[in-house]
Amino acid sequence: MKQIVFASNNPHKLRELRELAGADMAILSLDDIGCHDDIPETADTFEGNALLKARWVKERYGYDCFADDSGLEVDALGGEPGVRSARYAGEGHDSAANNAKLLSRLSGTTDRRARFRTAIALLAGNDEPRFFNGSVEGEILTEAHGEGGFGYDPLFRPLGWAKTFAEATPDEKNAVSHRGNAVRLLMDFLSQQPWQ
């Protein structure tokens, strides 16, 4: 079975990735390899942050690795929260605080167009970095709906849907999500590689 490190300890992301990877690949977390570092995410793009994390693991721990950076971009806010999606309400705040800030910033705004974006950086073998990108278009609702998902999922309704990501089953979300789209590209690439 192929093994690769996903540079994350986020249980929600790990669960999604392992579901998408299926039985043919073992996805190891940072905890699984004994990495408890606070890996800096100082780039100003999703691709840059993903590469920083993947390089950190590859250079310090020697594992083939991929990392992602994901976020929400809201048109009326000039792309905010973007790369600061997880820290939108400030360091140490949670999803509820981030969602509250987003709703406050959009108060009175009729243009609610938004998208989730994911960039994955892969460092495997001696190859140059490879990037896999995914996105999903939608809109921000005026109040939260649903108990599932995480982050901004209760506020985000994909185009053509009658419900938010937080109201969707994991399979429904993975079928169209930004991360699902990027991970399918990654897994398709990895399945064709000879390394173990």
Q: What is the pLDDT of residues 15-60, one digit of tens each?
A: 878 887 777 788 999 999 999 998 988 999 999 999 999 999 999 9
Q: What is the pLDDT of residues 62-91, one digit of tens each?
A: 999 999 999 999 999 999 999 999 889 988
User: Residue 145 in contact with residue 163, Cβ under 8 Å?
Assistant: yes
At residue 196, the pLDDT reads: 46
At residue 195, the pLDDT reads: 55
| Residues labelled catalytic | 69
- How many residues can be counted in the chain? 196
Mean pLDDT over 155-180 rounds to 93
Query: Which residues make Cβ contacts (< 8 Å) with residue 91, sequence separation at least 6?
Result: none
Closest CA to 185 of 128, 115, 134, 124: 134
Mean pLDDT over 138-150 rounds to 93
At residue 150, the pLDDT reads: 87
Q: How far apart are the C-alpha atoms of 10 and 170, rounded to whole Å?
A: 16
For residues 28 and 194, which has the higher predicted lDDT (pLDDT)? Answer: 28
User: Residue 88 in contact with residue 152, Cβ under 8 Å?
Assistant: no
